[in-house]
């Protein structure tokens, strides 16, 4: 029974992005390591950092900073400064988690249901996510080489073994992140491929992380890797494999990507919060199903897991027309975001039952999550841990059970980057989602804005490979 956070300190690296999707230069990892040099005593014996060679990083002392660098790159792509909110915010706008209420044109495009490849946001997110994948995947073999030099040194072997398990884990998450969000894949300067390749690579890394964490006796890392593999297998349609992994994860598990709120480290802030500060009222809960499902701060009606407020000092977004309802799940630029949750594992089990047609047992799994939230370990304040405020749910048909599952996943995983792949999966099975969201602005005030079914988008429920990648990579025929 635990909560676990991977801590990323203020010395996490700040490296510039490699070419989008292409093969990053070997010097990239040097930049990642040297960016943290001032914060690390006796980090590397390099008399002239500008002349550092790639092999200078084949050093046990360097591994922890390189690992922090991979985590920083993931955070930057997922919900950091890349695209001013990362892939999580883009997915929230393209689905039904948030509506655009500001002036950032790229975000309005997503909120309107368009997935264009030529916006600055898409270029930044593709570059950042590609860098996160490349640095994580290339750190794994580097660590394995360094471990060979530590044979016979028990304490060092243990330290490096634990770090290797974490590196494998983040390589899995980086690939899963890209599979969840992008329509196609490009690997190290290659051609366009089906985005399934990201999931296949993620599964391989998670499997390696499970084995390494098990060998090192790191059960938290093992569970996080199994949860990541369950997410991945679900998206690949391997329900048996997803359920097998989910069964081995405790409901209490919470594994976080860690954001830093330090001035000068804006690339790793939680930019979902940044987008709803009073001065940046760019996104709103107004016009989404979460406006109805969630709870206005200071009241008792609605689900406490999806809280928002209606600040009287700022009533409209920066567009000057849409009501500004401010999400209150993320409340600090240093606010962490769960990458996997044990509660999601119970909902994966529930969805697998629905796919099989066993909707009564699926509803029971949903209520298992709600019972956990009512427990002292569930994270809610005492007043909300009651059946009155967190009631069980019921269904009399499979259709009703599917709707309950879609709503429960939405609330439980709100603004954690899971809604976009969920919508894409549900568009195939069961083939419909019964929720509406505000899309394009109407000709009058906000009441004339179009409300459409969440699946009714102009392009696709994914983010395209950036036009920059297609232009600069000769193998994409761009």
User: What residues are paired with 87 via a beta bridge?
Assistant: none
Q: Is the pTM of this model over 0.75?
A: yes
Given a cut of 90, is residue 17 above it in pLDDT? no
pLDDT of residue 263: 77
104/253 Cα distance (integer angstroms): 36
pLDDT of residue 267: 86
Q: From the centroid of its chain, how far is CA 129?
A: 11
Q: Return the axis-axis angle of helices 359-374 and 398-412, rounded to nearest 10°.
A: 30
pLDDT category, 377, cuts 50, 70, 90?
very high
Contacts of 469 (CB under 8 A, 6+ apart): 19, 20, 21, 22, 126, 186, 476, 478
Which tops the pLDDT comparison, 41 or 86? 86
Structural domains of the chain, with CATH: 4-43+53-260+462-476 (1.25.40.390), 343-434 (no CATH)
What would the pLDDT profile of 226-266 be if each residue is shown by its tens digit? Answer: 999 999 999 999 999 999 999 999 999 999 999 987 777 78
pLDDT category, 278, cuts 50, 70, 90?
low
Mean pLDDT is lowest, of 76-85, 91-100, 134-143, 453-462, for 76-85
What is the arithmetic mean of pLDDT over 324-341? Answer: 94
């Amino acid at each position: 029974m635990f909560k676990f956070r991977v801590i990323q300190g203020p010395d996490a690296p700040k490296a510039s992005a490699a070419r989008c999707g292409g093969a990053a230069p070997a010097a990239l990892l040097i930049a990642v390591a040297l960016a943290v040099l001032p914060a690390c005593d006796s980090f590397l014996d390099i008399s002239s950092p500008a002349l550092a060679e790639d092999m200078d990083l084949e050093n046990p002392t360097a591994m922890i900073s390189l690992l922090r660098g991979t985590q920083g790159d993931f955070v930057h792509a997922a919900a950091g400064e890349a695209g001013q909110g990362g892939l999580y915010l883009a997915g929230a706008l393209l689905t039904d988690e948030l509506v655009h209420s500001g002036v950032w044109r790229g975000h309005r495009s997503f909120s309107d249901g368009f997935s264009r490849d030529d916006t600055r946001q898409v270029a930044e997110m593709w570059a950042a996510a590609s860098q996160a994948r490349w640095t994580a995947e290339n750190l794994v073999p580097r660590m394995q080489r360094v471990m060979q030099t530590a044979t016979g040194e028990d304490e060092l072997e243990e330290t490096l073994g634990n770090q290797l398990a974490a590196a494998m884990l983040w390589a899995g998450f980086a690939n899963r992140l890209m599979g969840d969000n992008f329509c196609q894949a490009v690997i190290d300067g290659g051609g366009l491929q089906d985005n399934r390749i990201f999931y296949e690579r993620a599964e391989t890394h998670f499997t390696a992380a499970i084995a390494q964490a098990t060998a090192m006796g790191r059960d938290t890392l093992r569970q996080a890797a199994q949860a990541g593999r369950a997410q991945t297998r679900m998206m690949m349609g391997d329900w048996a494999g997803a359920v097998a992994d989910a069964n081995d994860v405790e409901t209490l598990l919470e594994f976080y990507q860690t954001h830093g709120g330090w001035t000068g480290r804006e690339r790793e802030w939680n930019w979902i919060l940044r987008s709803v500060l009073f001065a940046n009222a760019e996104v709103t809960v107004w016009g989404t199903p979460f406006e109805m499902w969630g709870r206005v701060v200071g009241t008792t009606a609605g689900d406490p897991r999806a809280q928002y407020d209606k600040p009287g000092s700022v009533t409209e977004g920066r567009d000057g027309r849409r009501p500004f309802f401010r999400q209150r799940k993320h409340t600090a630029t240093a606010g962490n975001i769960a990458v996997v949750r044990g509660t999601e594992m119970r909902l994966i089990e529930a969805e697998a039952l629905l796919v099989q047609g066993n909707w009564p047992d699926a509803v029971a799994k949903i209520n298992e999550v709600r019972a956990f939230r009512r427990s002292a370990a569930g994270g809610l304040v005492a007043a909300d841990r009651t059946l009155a405020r967190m009631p069980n749910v019921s269904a009399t048909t499979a259709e009703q059970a599917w709707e309950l599952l879609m709503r429960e996943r939405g609330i439980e995983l709100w603004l954690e980057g899971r809604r976009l792949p969920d919508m894409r999966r549900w568009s195939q099975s069961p083939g419909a989602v019964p929720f509406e969201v505000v899309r394009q602005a109407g000709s009058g005030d906000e009441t004339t804005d179009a409300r459409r079914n969440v699946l009714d988008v102009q392009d696709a429920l994914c983010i395209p490979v950036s036009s920059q990648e297609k232009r600069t990579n000769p193998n994409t025929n761009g």
